[in-house]
Structures are given as C-alpha cells and as structure tokens.
Amino acid sequence: MERAPAKGVLSHLSLLEVQARSRKSQLQQQSRVMELKAKVEALKTQREQLKAQIQTHQDLQKLRLAMEKQCADEEEENMEEESENSQLLRLMARHTQLKDLLHAHHLIGGYDIIKTRKGKGACVSIATAYEDVFLDTFNLEIDLKPTVKINRHNIPPFIPLNNLAEQNNMQTDLRVFLDTLSQHLNAFAGRKQQLKLVKEKHKSVEVMESNVLCSLLVLLFTVPREKTAVLCTLDYTDHTRCLPTRVHLESEDKQLPDSPQWEKNCSLLMETPVHKALITMKKMGSIV
Amino acid sequence: MEKMSDENTEEVKVLEAEIERLQAEVEALQRQQQENNKDITFHYRGQMENALAFMCGQRQEGGKEMVMSRLKEEVEELEEDVKLQTEINGITLNSCTTKTLQNSGRKLVQQLSLSGNCSELVFQVEFQFSEIKDSERSKRTIGDLNVVLDSSDLQNFSSFLSR
C-alpha cells in the first residue's frame, strides 16, 4: 500500500529531475549560442579593423611614392580625387616622409641633433666609425641660450673637451667645434679598434704597453728562426690621426733596427694601420 | 523540448563553422599586416597611432579636428628637426625612398634612395644599409653605394668613392 504512492512520488521526482536537467542543458546550449554569436561579432570587428589598417597602409604607400616623385622631379602637385579623409592621409604621409628624412640624415653620417626644452638646448650625437664599421656613439647635451655651454656628455675624460670648445669658438660656430671634436673622437675610435684587432688577430705579437687614449703602443715582436726579440714603440702624438707620428725599434741584436728589412718595416708602420702592417710583416718573414 | 535542443545543436554547428572561417580570414590578414610592419617607415607611434586608429573607425577624443591638429603639431616639430639637421650636416635632402628588404628581430636591411644637394652640388645616392644587433652593440654597414652627380667635379669624387 505504501508502494503505490512511493512509486508515484519517485517517478514524479525523477520526472522533475529530467526536466530540470534538460532545462539546464537547454540554458547551457542557449548561453553557448550567445557565446558563439559574441565571438563571431568580435572576429568580424577584428577583421574589419585589420582590413582598414591594411588599406590605410596601402594608401599611405601610394601617396608617399607620389610625394617622392614630386620632390625629385619638382612636378606640379596634382590634385587627386579628394576623399573624405584624404587631408588626414596626406598629413600622415608627410609625417612618414619627415621621419624618413631624419633617418636618412642619421645614416649619412654627420651629427644627429635634437632640440630640447623648447629650443633652449640641443642633444648632439657624434658617431664614430673605422674601416666600414660603426663604433661607439658619443653624446653631448648643450645649452644654447643664453650662452652655448656643454651640460652633460659621455665623452671620455682624456679627450680635451673644454680646450677644444675654447679653441674652436664653440660660441660662434658650433659646427666647427663639432667637426674638430668628431675628428678627435673618430681618430681615437680608430686607434682603439686597431689595438683590438692586434690583440685578436696577432696573438704572436705581445702588447707590452698601451694607454687609454691609445696614443702610445709598445709591441714585442719575435724574429723567426733566431727568436730575437724586437721592441716596437708607436707614438701617436697627433690625436686627430689614426697613424703614428713616430716608430722606434729596439733589439738585443743592435744591428737589426738598421737593417734594410727593418727600415722598410718602420716605414710600413708609419704609413699603414698597425693591424694591417703586421700582416705584411708576417708575410715577409720579418716576424713570427 | 528535444526539438529545441536539436535546433540549438544545428545553430551551434553553423556558428562554429563561421568562427572557423572568420579565424582563418583574420589570420591571413594578420600575416599581411606583419609583412607590412616590416617596413619601418610605417611604424605608427604617438599621434600617428591616433590617426591610424581614427582611420580604422575608432572614435578618438575630439574627433577628426583634434586628431588632425595634434598630428599637425607633431609634423611641424618634425619639420623643425629636419631643418636643424640640415643646418648642422650642411646637406639638404629632398627626397628619400626606402625599401625594407629584410627585418627580422636582429637584422635590418634597407635599400635607400636619396636625392638632395650639398652647397651647389646636386646629387642622387643609392645604397644598401644593414644593421645587425647583438647583445651589446649593433653593427652597421653600408654597401652597394651608387652615386649620380651632375657633373663637372667627377675627378675629385671618384677617388672618394673608391675608398
């Protein structure tokens, strides 16, 4: 007797459970549908964005090409059909052109200069290079008003910055001052690079002494066969040059420095960058 | 109730297929954009970024006028910079076309074509510029130099070129 109602209750309960589950799964499916619809909309928006960016890029490229042609050929500006945003597009193209010109100035060497603090100052970068390779860059922060004064810089202390500034009338001709400074810096970079190459490529040659300015170099050569030692001093007293002003040789063999072969080597060292001179000297059998 | 669930499954399938299609489209467009981005001429920063966003339909504060006027300010600053740079280098550049041949993370190779004048000398220069960055420094080299001059002074110049 109790069974009949229990069955009824149980089966009712299980019916309710089935209904609840199916409603849940229905809700899940509906929210899944909504989720997917949202994702479709998001992807569509992303696609339209990308298309617009790519289109703008193409339009700018076309416009730039026309602009460069105009500049090079000095043609009259021809008015293309004005679209709604063509003024903005032209402005954007001009922006890229100016940026490119600055990049080109940067590459053709010379000095990079940026105005700071509303024209009261400037940052100048001087690049150094030796044998087709760019080396360190040096920077100066200069006050332009009221007087031309160097504020901050990363130029090594052994370069006589203040002397150069005074001697070259930095106040009146910034360009001349920078030219001289650049000469000193480039020569220094060149000498430093030569020293680096000697250490790297000529392990049989010992570097006995060098200084931070790389204006003095003392090398120890070994003569093949007899294994005589030759001490070679290179003085670079002209700091605007990468070649020595004086070459001095000393050896246990007192005759050696005056021999024709070594007189030749002496001239070679005066006229050729040291790392290259050493290659020749090795080839000629003068040194090991 | 089961019928509704069938319809739902159908709709889900259709939507999933559309999503797959759209994702493929977006990926293709992203690849194209990556190619475009290799050209450093068209790197958008600052006001250019805002201008680009505006061109792509995104609302910008102040609308078109604001975008234009801010960009104009930046363009005027750049014009000042170019003028200054021209003064300090003593070289006037009139046109500059660059073609980026390679731009991976470490290596940049560009083909540049410049025309301009220096004092009275009018010139056209083309060269290839490579920059390789490693951990501490970047190595920059210039190659394939080609110079076109209006020429009376060629002799002095050819010795410079051969260096």
As a whole number of angstroms, the distance between CA A185 and CA A66 comes to 41
CA B132 distance to own-chain centroid: 18
Contact A85 B55 (CB under 8 A): yes
Average pLDDT over residues A113-123: 80
- Amino acid letter, B46: G
List of long-range contacts for A216-223, beta carbons under 8 Å, 24+ apart: A217/A244, A217/A274, A219/A274, A221/A281, A221/A286, A221/A287, A221/A288, A222/A287, A222/A288, A223/A253, A223/A256, A223/A286, A223/A287, A223/A288
Paired with B149 in beta bridges are B123
Contact B29 A47 (CB under 8 A): yes
Computed over every residue of chain A, the mean pLDDT equals 87
As a whole number of angstroms, the distance between CA B50 and CA A92 comes to 11
- Which helix (H) or strand (E) element contains residue A16? helix A3-73
pLDDT at B163 (0 to 100): 44
Left if phi > 0, otherwise alpha if psi is -120 to 50, otherwise beta: which for A244?
A: beta
Cβ–Cβ contacts within 10 Å for residue B43, how many?
12
* C-alpha distance from A137 to closest chain B C-alpha (Å): 11
pLDDT digits (tens, 9 = 90+) for B1-47: 555 567 778 888 899 999 999 999 999 999 999 888 888 777 788 88
For residue A42, pLDDT over 70 is answered with: yes
For residue B159, pLDDT over 80 is answered with: no
Tokens of B147: 């110079």
Tell me whether A62 touches chain B (CB under 8 Å): no
pLDDT digits (tens, 9 = 90+) for A265-282: 999 999 999 999 999 999
Q: Which of B111, B69, B37, B21 is nearest to A43 (CA)?
A: B21
Determine the residue of chain A that is closest to B25 in CA distance. A47
* C-alpha distance from B153 to closest chain A C-alpha (Å): 21
User: Residues in chain A, how many?
Assistant: 288
B6 against A106, higher pLDDT: A106
Estimate the share of chain B in helix, then strand, then coil, as percent rounded to the nearest 5: 50, 30, 20
pLDDT band at A283 (very low <50, low <70, confident <90, very high): very high
pLDDT at A158 (0 to 100): 92
As a whole number of angstroms, the distance between CA B78 and CA A105 comes to 13
Computed over every residue of chain B, the mean pLDDT equals 81
For residue A94, pLDDT over 50 is answered with: yes
CA distances from B29 to A42, A62, B58 (A): 15, 20, 18
Between positions 111 and 140 of A, the ones with CB within 8 A of B are 111-115, 122, 124, 132-134
pLDDT digits (tens, 9 = 90+) for B44-91: 888 888 888 888 888 777 888 888 999 999 999 889 888 888 887 788
Nearest to A68 among B8, B82, B95 (CB): B95
* C-alpha distance from A138 to closest chain B C-alpha (Å): 14
CA distances from A184 to A69, A126, A131, A250, B121 (A): 40, 11, 16, 30, 28
Query: CB within 8 A of A63, min separation 6: which ones?
Result: A89, A90, A93
Between positions 201 and 260 of A, the ones with CB within 8 A of B are none
Contact A71 B16 (CB under 8 A): no
Contact B82 A101 (CB under 8 A): yes
Nearest to A33 among B8, B42, B72 (CB): B8
CA A268 distance to own-chain centroid: 34
pLDDT band at A84 (very low <50, low <70, confident <90, very high): confident
* C-alpha distance from A119 to closest chain B C-alpha (Å): 10
As a whole number of angstroms, the distance between CA A114 and CA A105 comes to 12
Contact A54 B29 (CB under 8 A): yes
pLDDT at B100 (0 to 100): 84
Task: Provide DSSP, A74-129.
Answer: TPPPP-PPP-TTHHHHHHHHHHHHHHHHHHHHHHT-SEEEEEEGGGTEEEEEEEEE
* C-alpha distance from A203 to closest chain B C-alpha (Å): 24
**Using omega within 30 degrees of 0 as the cis cutoff, is the peptide bond preceding A146 cis?**
yes
CA B11 distance to own-chain centroid: 44
Tell me whether A35 touches chain B (CB under 8 Å): no
Contact A100 B11 (CB under 8 A): no
pLDDT at B99 (0 to 100): 84
Estimate the share of chain A in helix, then strand, then coil, as percent rounded to the nearest 5: 55, 20, 25
Q: Helix axis angle, A86-107 relative to B47-55, nearest 10°?
A: 150
Tell me whether A16 touches chain B (CB under 8 Å): no
A264 against A168, higher pLDDT: A264
C-beta separation of B84 from B92 below 8 A: no
As a whole number of angstroms, the distance between CA A283 and CA A228 comes to 18
| pTM for this entry | 0.70
Determine the residue of chain B that is closest to A85 in CA distance. B55
Place of tokens 């001052």: A177
As a whole number of angstroms, the distance between CA A91 and CA A19 comes to 65
B92-103 vs A246-251, strand pairing mode? unpaired
pLDDT band at B156 (very low <50, low <70, confident <90, very high): low
Mutation to test the B interface, candidates A91, A112, A114, most B Cβ within 10 Å: A91
For residue A168, pLDDT over 50 is answered with: yes
